């Protein structure tokens, strides 16, 4: 493989599946328990804030009971040992990349452990529930919402992501179904930029045909093997 000096990684719910966090679209996944329109759109939040706050309270609470898995740990090792440019763009709102020790992480769809105040628009680290309408730590208004990107809302830091893609030699997609845009379009953007593309996923995804190489298997096995290859131990 030609010298790799800049990597962009995109992760999705599949990288957290082996930690026991439900994915969205696998059987019994999160979206099967709820209609997307009811719990992951601004309209759903306006219609029934208690339902939405409760949905995210449950997911935030569940974080305390799960651990990073070997896939998160392998990416943290890559982050620590890879001397080139690296950006881990995650669609996940869990904090398992950080808890495994990764630092160069970008949450394009926000985070469960962050609160956004709809009154003052300030963000605060958040670990508790929101269903009981706690006061915003900044302005005290009882107006907190989950700091996550819902359907129809603009994902975070898109300029930074596209800038990283433009400078990358390698784009790796891990554990995502390629169903949701703009994340699902990154592989096409990468190819148009002449970036090499690799997919690591349990099964073929909606975007598999766009990748130069697509490996099927569990992230807990594929990711450590791939990281060893990149760090020259493969
Ligand atoms: C935007 C955060 C524009 C919240 C999420 C029509 C109407 C309205 C909108 C649209 C439309 N058509 C297109 C759109 C745009 C829309 C979209 O793409 N819709 C889709 C459904 C067609 N996108 C948006 O709305 C985005 N915003 O477009 O804004 C705009 C422009 C200008 C100004 C303002 C706005 C915002 C989308 C973000 C939504 N938020 N999450 C929360 O988490 O609750 S989406 C959520 O689902 C995730 O974040 C992720 O992005 C997405 C997909 O989930 P995955 O991570 O891929 O998980 P999934 O379960 O699907 O797949 C898991 C994969 O893992 C599987 O392939 C499985 O095989 C694999 N796997 C399982 N186990 C393992 C494994 N792999 C390895 N190992 C294992 N063990």
pLDDT in tens, 96-109: 999 999 999 999 99
- Check pLDDT > 90 for residue 183: yes
Over residues 189-202, the mean pLDDT reads 98
Residue-averaged pLDDT of the chain: 96
Question: Is residue 17 domain-shared with residue 58, that is, in the same domain?
Answer: no
Separation of 135 CA from ligand 1 center, angstroms? 30
Residue 116: which CATH number?
3.30.1600.10
Question: Is residue 53 domain-shared with residue 84, that is, in the same domain?
Answer: no
- d(C-alpha 137, C-alpha 135), whole Å: 6
Q: Look up the pTM and report it.
A: 0.97
Residue 179: which CATH number?
3.40.50.1220
Question: Is residue 214 domain-shared with residue 98, that is, in the same domain?
Answer: yes
209 is catalytic: no
Among 72, 97, 109, 209, the active-site one is: 109
Separation of 179 CA from ligand 1 center, angstroms? 6
Ligand 1 near 179 CB (within 6 A): yes
Question: Is residue 166 domain-shared with residue 203, that is, in the same domain?
Answer: yes
Q: Which residue has the tokens 């990764």?
A: 102
**Taking a C-beta distance cutoff of 8 angstroms, is the pair 169, 196 a contact?**
yes
Structural domain boundaries, residue 87: 1-21+68-109+155-234
Q: Which atom of ligand 1 is nearest to the CA of 91?
A: 49
Pairing status of strand 196-201 against strand 170-174 = parallel
**Taking a C-beta distance cutoff of 8 angstroms, is the pair 230, 200 a contact?**
no
Question: Is residue 195 domain-shared with residue 174, that is, in the same domain?
Answer: yes
pLDDT at 84: 97
- d(C-alpha 227, C-alpha 85), whole Å: 15
Question: Is residue 222 domain-shared with residue 171, that is, in the same domain?
Answer: yes
Total of domains in the chain: 2
């Amino acid at each position: 493989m030609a010298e790799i000096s800049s990597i962009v990684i995109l992760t999705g719910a599949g990288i957290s599946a082996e930690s026991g966090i439900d994915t969205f679209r696998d059987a019994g996944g999160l979206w099967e328990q709820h209609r997307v329109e009811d719990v992951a759109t601004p309209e759903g939040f306006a219609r029934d804030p208690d339902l939405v706050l409760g949905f995210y309270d449950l997911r935030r609470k569940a974080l305390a009971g799960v651990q990073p898995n070997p896939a998160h740990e392998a990416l943290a090792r890559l982050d620590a040992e890879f001397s080139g440019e690296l950006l881990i763009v995650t669609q996940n709102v869990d904090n398992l990349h950080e808890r495994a020790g990764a630092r160069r992480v970008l949450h394009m769809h926000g985070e469960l452990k962050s609160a956004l105040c709809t009154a003052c628009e300030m963000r605060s680290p958040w670990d508790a529930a929101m269903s009981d309408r706690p006061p915003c730590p900044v302005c005290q208004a009882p107006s907190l919402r989950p700091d996550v990107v819902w359907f129809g809302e603009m994902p975070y830091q898109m300029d930074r992501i596209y800038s990283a893609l433009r400078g990358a030699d390698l784009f790796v997609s891990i554990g995502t179904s390629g169903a949701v845009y703009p994340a699902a379009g990154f592989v096409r953007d990468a190819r148009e930029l002449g970036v090499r593309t690799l997919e690591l996923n349990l099964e073929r995804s909606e975007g598999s045909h766009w990748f130069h190489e697509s490996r099927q298997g569990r992230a807990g096995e594929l990711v450590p093997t791939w990281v060893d290859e990149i760090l020259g131990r493969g």
